[in-house]
Amino acid sequence: MVNAYPRESVEFQPVTVTRDGIAVTTGLSFAIVPDGTRPATFTAATILGGKAGVMVSGLARGTYRIFAQLDASPEIPVIDCGYFYIT
């Protein structure tokens, strides 16, 4: 089931990103973009209760996609983490 949030909500959405099978919370940033577009700017992950993720707030109705960027020098992979809806 895909998460759906009322547009008035301010909610933490945890996003699990793994490296070599281990969840990471450092060197991690995220971008939330309208579905069908590519990320241009990433912001540091929000850490809440030991989990990394994004704060969902201030978005217009529609479908959004989350991308993660992991600073794993010398590599910097970008990962499509899925989507959610704003109602």
Total tally of structural domains belonging to the chain: 1
The C-alpha atoms of residue 21 and residue 27 are separated, in whole angstroms, by 16
Residue 57 has pLDDT above 70, yes or no: yes
* Structure token pair of residue 74: 């010398």
Lookup: tokens for 27: 């060197």
Question: How far is 3 from 40, CA to CA, in rounded Å?
Answer: 23
| Mean local confidence (pLDDT), 74-78 | 91
Q: Which amino acid is it at 31? A: A
Six-digit token pair at 3? 């998460």
Residues of the domain holding 55: 4-86
Question: Residue 52's pLDDT is what?
Answer: 96
What is the distance between the alpha carbons of residues 63 and 55, in angstroms, rounded to a whole number?
A: 15
pLDDT at residue 1, rounded to an integer: 65
What confidence tens digit (pLDDT) does each residue in 4-37 have?
999 999 999 999 999 889 999 999 999 999 999 9
Split at pLDDT 50, 70, 90, the class of 60 is very high
pLDDT(75) > 70: yes
